[in-house]
């Protein structure tokens, strides 16, 4: 299970994929986009995939019990 976190730290937009242990599993670079464009990508991603992210999180939380 992983968590998706969009970030623009250091002025470089990217997506961090974080595992249940808190470690970054991978980084997807969006530096070709301006921050406002990357924000729109993030919003659209969460709108389209929120159920998947919620189910993945619930499954991880259940396994931690």
Domain segments of the chain as ranges:
3-64
pLDDT digits (tens, 9 = 90+) for 14-23: 999 887 778 8
Among 52, 47, 55, 59, which Cα is nearest to 20's?
Answer: 59
Which residue has better confidence, 35 or 53? 35
Rounded CA separation 52/58 (Å): 10
pLDDT digits (tens, 9 = 90+) for 8-52: 887 799 999 887 778 888 899 999 999 999 999 999 999 999 898
């Amino acid at each position: 299970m992983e968590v998706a976190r969009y970030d623009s730290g250091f002025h470089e937009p990217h997506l961090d994929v974080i595992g249940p242990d808190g470690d970054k599993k991978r980084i997807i670079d969006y530096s070709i986009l301006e921050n406002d464009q990357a924000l729109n990508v993030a919003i659209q991603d969460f709108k389209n995939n929120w159920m998947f992210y919620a189910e993945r999180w619930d499954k991880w939380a259940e396994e931690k019990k």
